[in-house]
């Protein structure tokens, strides 16, 4: 589904990703862990199409097409979803209106029939229930005045509604208490599907107790330095990121 | 002209305001350029095209609507209504809702007209919807002078919807006095026109008088919209809440001067003024000028003014969910403006403003 090859990306003249490689197949859950500044969020933003990232080398292929050629909205319509680390507050723009516009724009792009208000609200209600989100959140402005936990749950709710093929969760666990974390994990687990893949970017092992990954990658200084199964996350938790750095030095010697 | 109050379209007001250089700092040139033309008195018997009538012919206000073409009653009915409501020295009844339509109709040459309004609300609540529209053509300059008095405990709501073609200018002067525990809520949506200038002068004269001003202006092309707001807290425990949004596109020019004065003795006053403005083009300009002068004690006052551009993060957020760039821009612009009307209780006014916003706000792609 996704093949990232030798990806080099600069931000404001500074190289952040330095030859990152990653392959994600349908049905898989990949966790990407790493210390601050490793480039984890940059990877998420580059995949979703945010401006200000300069690709200097490498490629990203998504279902056989060059993902980086597409505008953010085209990527969304093609099934890419980024749950933001810091969801943006947009006062004055109604949540329901925004999501209906988003969903219908995606459907239109894919040549599917647009949903009318009734169909849309039905879809919304179902998803809200699963994520324990109250209806009134839908009548408010996008993320405006939401608590940290509400914002993160809103991201997962949007994901549930938009049904992406490739979902990237950028530190969705940060700032969540244990109940909210479980709700988020339930939301994600309910969507696990042989046709869908997840990239879960996180700092801590804790989230991976609830969203159990098929693969764990450790990212340091702009590239993936170690990959393994879920036990790698536990080792990291035990030894810290310094352990990885040391092992790399030993390996290099 | 029997029954018609002193119609000031005959005796045009002097154009002396521009002598106050400071108050006209940003609009003096625009005013002088307009004024350089030879104005004649506007034709008052112009026929109205259907497309124009559709803009104001709302079933719910038909019975209480007065249409003034270039300042003059349009039909026999309008003439009767002007006399009945005594627009220049009348009293508003409790529960009254007046819909005043000021139509600007061009003649062969530049023309101007004027109209006075002077109304008092003694008790209860009343609403005035003031609409300014027009037909494109030779320049028309309309001048409206409005004096409103809100007595003790009364509540007056005024909604001004100005949606003018590029050849029409409007100079609107409003003086309002609010009595004890009285409230004046004003909502303005200003679009289009060659030059629109609003002088808004509100005196919270009685204790616990309450003034709420909500507005949006959105000049584009070479339009010029200047709002000069002066709110004065003259008595104890008075409240003012001024919240405006401006959006300028292309070579549009917007000015919001918001001055709040808390006079000596007006202790316990609560004054809030906030204006946020959005520039959609490198050639657009908005000047936001908040001024706060306080001469009393135990006053709560806050003011803020910003001028900025569309939030790139918000734009990316919307696009990342699948909303195309053009639609995402429109959504952000209208959302930005809609913020000013949060809490405007009256659903009908809201719906009218939203319709205007949808129609008149810059759509994406036009700014290139």
Average the pLDDT over B33-52 and give the result: 87
Nearest to B133 by CA among B250, B221, B39, B49: B49
ipTM of the complex: 0.95
Of B311, B316, B334, the CB nearest to A51: B316
A6: which 2 tokens? 């030798």
Average pLDDT, chain A: 92
pLDDT digits (tens, 9 = 90+) for B313-355: 999 999 999 999 999 999 999 999 988 988 776 788 888 888 8
C-alpha span between A26 and A21 (Å, rounded): 17
Q: How many residues does chain A have?
A: 253
Of A71, A88, A93, the CB nearest to B313: A88
Q: Supply the pLDDT for residue B364.
A: 46
Q: How many residues does chain B have?
A: 368
Pairing of β A223-228 and β A215-220: antiparallel
State the virtual CA torsion across A71, A157, A100, A147 in degrees, nearest 10: -90
Q: Which residues, other chains included, contact A206 with Cβ-Cβ below 8 Å and sequence gap of 6+?
A: A173, A181
Chain B residues closer than 8 Å to A93 by CB:
318, 331-332, 335, 338
A222: helix, coil or strand?
Answer: coil
pLDDT digits (tens, 9 = 90+) for B144-191: 999 999 999 999 999 999 999 999 999 999 999 999 999 999 999 999
Beta-carbon separation of B335 and A90 below 8 A: yes
∠ CA A174-A177-A179 to the nearest 5 degrees?
125
Average the pLDDT over B29-50 and give the result: 87
Beta-carbon separation of B332 and A90 below 8 A: yes
Which residue matches tokens 């006209």?
Answer: B24
Q: Supply the pLDDT for residue A253.
A: 42
Q: How many CB pairs under 8 A join A and B?
A: 85
β-bridge partners, A3: A23, A61
pLDDT digits (tens, 9 = 90+) for A16-62: 999 999 999 999 999 999 988 899 999 999 999 999 999 999 999 99
Please compute Rg for chain A using Cα positions.
Answer: 18
B243: which 2 tokens? 């919240």
Beta-carbon separation of B319 and A49 below 8 A: yes
Please say whether the beta carbons of B164 and B133 come within 8 A.
yes
Of A50, A103, A142, the CB nearest to B316: A50
The whole model's pTM is what? 0.87
Q: Rounded to a whole number, what is the distance in Å from the CA of B304 to chain A's nearest CA?
A: 17
A236: helix, coil or strand?
Answer: helix
Q: Which residues, other chains included, contact B51 with Cβ-Cβ below 8 Å and sequence gap of 6+?
A: none
Q: Which residues, other chains included, contact B151 with Cβ-Cβ below 8 Å and sequence gap of 6+?
A: B120, B121, B122, B123, B179, B182
Average the pLDDT over B117-122 and give the result: 96
Confidence of residue B13 (pLDDT cuts 50, 70, 90): low
Which residue matches tokens 């969801």?
Answer: A87
Burial of residue B282 (number of CB atoms within 10 Å: 0-12, 13-18, 19+): exposed
C-alpha span between A247 and A249 (Å, rounded): 5
Percent of chain B whose predicted confidence (pLDDT) is above 70 = 93
C-alpha distances (whole Å) from B117 to each of A192, B212, B226 are 67, 20, 21
Who wins on pLDDT, A41 or A242? A41
């Amino acid at each position: 589904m996704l093949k990232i090859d030798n990806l080099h990306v600069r931000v404001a003249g500074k190289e952040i990703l330095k030859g990152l490689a990653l392959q994600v197949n349908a049905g898989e859950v990949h966790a990407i862990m790493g210390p601050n500044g490793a480039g984890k969020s940059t990877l998420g933003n580059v995949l979703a199409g945010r401006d200000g990232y300069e690709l200097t080398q490498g490629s990203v292929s998504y279902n056989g097409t060059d993902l980086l050629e597409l505008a953010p909205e085209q990527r969304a319509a093609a099934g890419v979803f980024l749950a933001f680390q810091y969801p943006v507050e947009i006062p004055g723009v109604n949540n329901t209106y925004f999501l209906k516009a988003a969903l219908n724009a995606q459907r239109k792009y894919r040549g599917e029939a647009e949903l009318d208000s009734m169909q849309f609200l039905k879809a919304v209600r179902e998803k809200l229930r699963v994520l324990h989100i109250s209806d009134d959140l839908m009548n408010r402005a996008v993320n405006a005045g939401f608590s940290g936990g509400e914002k993160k749950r809103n991201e997962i709710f949007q994901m549930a509604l938009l049904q992406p093929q490739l979902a990237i969760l950028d530190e969705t666990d940060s700032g969540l208490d244990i109940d909210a974390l479980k709700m988020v994990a339930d939301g994600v687990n309910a969507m696990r599907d042989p046709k869908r893949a997840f990239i879960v970017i996180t700092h801590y092992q804790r989230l991976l107790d609830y969203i159990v990954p098929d693969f764990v990658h450790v990212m340091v200084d702009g590239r993936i330095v170690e990959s393994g199964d879920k036990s790698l996350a536990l080792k990291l938790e035990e030894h810290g990121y310094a352990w990885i750095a040391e092992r790399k030095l030993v390996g290099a010697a | 002209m029997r029954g018609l109050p002193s119609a000031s379209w005959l005796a045009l007001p002097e154009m002396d305001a521009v002598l106050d250089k400071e108050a006209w700092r940003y609009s003096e040139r625009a005013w002088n350029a307009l004024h350089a033309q030879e104005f004649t008195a506007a034709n008052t018997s112009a026929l109205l095209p259907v497309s124009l009538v559709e803009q104001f012919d709302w079933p719910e206000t038909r019975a209480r609507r007065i249409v003034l073409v270039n300042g003059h009653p349009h039909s026999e009915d309008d003439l009767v209504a002007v006399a009945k409501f005594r627009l220049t020295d009348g009293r508003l009844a409790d529960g009254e809702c007046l819909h005043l339509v000021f139509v600007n109709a061009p003649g062969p040459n530049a023309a101007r007209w004027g109209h006075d309004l002077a109304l008092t609300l003694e008790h209860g609540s009343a609403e005035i919807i003031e609409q300014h529209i027009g037909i494109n053509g030779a320049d028309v300059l309309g001048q409206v002078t409005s004096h409103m008095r809100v007595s003790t405990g009364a509540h007056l709501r005024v909604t001004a919807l100005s949606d003018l073609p590029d050849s029409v200018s409007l100079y609107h002067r409003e003086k309002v006095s609010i009595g004890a525990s009285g409230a004046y809520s004003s909502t303005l949506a200003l679009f289009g026109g060659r030059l629109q200038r609003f002088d808004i002068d509100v005196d919270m004269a009685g204790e616990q008088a309450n003034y709420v001003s909500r507005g949006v202006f959105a000049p584009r092309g070479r339009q010029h919209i200047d709002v000069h707001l002066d709110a004065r807290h003259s008595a104890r425990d008075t409240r003012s809440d001024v919240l405006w949004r401006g959006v300028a596109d292309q070579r549009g020019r917007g000015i919001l001067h918001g001055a709040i004065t808390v006079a000596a003795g007006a202790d316990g006053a609560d004054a809030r003024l906030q204006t946020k403005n959005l520039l959609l083009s490198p050639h657009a300009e908005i000047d936001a000028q908040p001024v706060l002068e306080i001469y009393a004690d135990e006053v709560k006052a806050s003011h803020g003014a910003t001028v900025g551009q569309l939030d790139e993060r918000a734009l990316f957020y919307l696009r990342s969910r699948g909303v195309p760039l053009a639609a995402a821009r429109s959504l952000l612009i209208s959302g930005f403006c809609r913020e000013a009307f949060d809490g405007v209780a009256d659903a009908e006014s809201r719906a009218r403003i939203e319709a205007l916003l949808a129609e008149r706000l810059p759509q994406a792609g036009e700014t290139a």
